[in-house]
Structure 1
Amino acid sequence: MRQDRSLGTSRGATVAMAAEQVAAWQRDRLAWAEHHPVTAALAEPLEVVPVDEPWLATATTDGRCLVFNPAWSAELSELQRRQVQEHLVWHAAAGDYRPRNVRDPRRWHLACDHAINTQLMQLGAELPMDAVLFPFAITWRRREVYGWLDEHPFLELEQSADQLAWQARATLPVTDLTDLEEDWRQHVRATVRHYLGTAWLPDSVAGWLLGRR
């Protein structure tokens, strides 16, 4: 993935700002341990990396890292930042970093956002007021939502808060993706085994997670 792992940048974000935002993102994870332990567990292998580059306006994940624009992150409230990070963690767990051969990448992203937000809603997460979520399509697969969005009369009103890595041309080599897939398969299965049957992980969400793997 094309990214500068150093905290220093040559653009709008300072070293101090980047460091502050990394610390804030890491604090968010500690807060999940008590109230959102499944998300906390899924987030464990994901490194937090600030990147101040033109291709990244908001945040994304390549499956190994959560990558964010520090200047953009600094403008978010604590709640907004947590919501974005939680959403990205589930994008990674769902494998949404994998390139997809679709005619309309933006519609596919919205379909993925809907699927992620459906799971987070079932976990009791507080979603943003403008979260991409279509209540009548809660049980639909992403391909079904993607197809329906082709006829959406006000598609321009639906906006993703993040970016998919492959849409930002920031994907891993194929060999790395193969290894990453296996790493995530094992991690997701271990997380599901640990929390299955508890109040933290509804059966429907567990099935969805395993179905992505």
Structure 2
Amino acid sequence: MKAERKLLKARADLLLHQPFFGSLCLRMNPVEDRASSSAWTDGKTFGYNPYYIEKLSGSQVEGLLAHTIMHPACQHHKRRNGRDERIWNMACDHSINWILLEAGFDLPDGYLDDEKYHGKTAEDIFTELNKEFDQEGNPGLHNRTGITVRTFLLFHFRSQ
């Protein structure tokens, strides 16, 4: 199934099964972005790589959409306050993914979810994550599981 059709179906399914997320999703304009490795949003646009979308199951596309809309819904772009963008995105992912999983979403492989961060704010998670990584922000640093930071940045929020 082509990426555009898969996205349309996922948006319709969100409206039917998860109307809160579905209504938020309709506020974003989907735009193909082959330069992106996966998907992103600036709060108004849902940018996606069609090849990435085509690899996902329908339920994973729904999860990706729900994940992506949670960033502007939680005002992550307004709360960054100059923090390191990569670590901030990871903290924000930790703060929302467990909520999505509890709501029954199927997230694409590579999502961040650590039980120790459940119920914590993105700011608190950022403080903890920032201690774990090199202050110089080396992209090849490993977290406590041995997976590089870069591995987790599958979908992200772009600051406006």
TM range (shorter): 0.7 to 0.9
Q: Give the residue type in structure 1 aligned to 2:87.
A: R
> Counterpart of 1:49?
31
RMSD: 2.4
TM-score, normalised relative to structure 1: 0.60
Normalising by structure 2, report the TM-score.
Answer: 0.77
Alignment match, 1:163: 156
Q: 1:116 deviation in Å?
A: 1.4
Change (3 A) 1:63 1:103: closer
2:120 is paired with a residue whose SS is: coil
1:146 alignment partner, one of 126, 135, 139? 126
User: Quick one: distance in 2 between partners of 1:31 and 1:23?
Assistant: 12
Structure 1 residue 142 displacement after superposition = 1.0
CA contact (8 A) 1:58 1:162 kept: yes
Unaligned runs of 5+ in 1: 1-16, 172-213
Q: How many equivalent residue pairs? A: 147
Match of 1:60 among 40, 44, 53: 40
The answer to whether the 8 A contact 2:64-2:108 is kept is no
SS of the aligned residue for 1:150 comes to: helix
Match of 1:82 among 33, 56, 62: 62
Q: What percent of counterpart residues are identical?
A: 24
Counterpart amino acid of 2:92? C
Where in structure 2 are the equivalents of 1:124-203 lying within 5 Å?
124-128=104-108, 130-152=110-132, 154-155=142-143, 157=147, 159-166=152-159, 171=160
Query: Within 1, Cα distance between the matches of 2:105 and 2:3?
Result: 22
Once residues 132 and 165 of structure 1 are traced to their aligned partners in structure 2, the CA distance between those partners, rounded to angstroms, is 18
SS in 2 for 1:151: helix
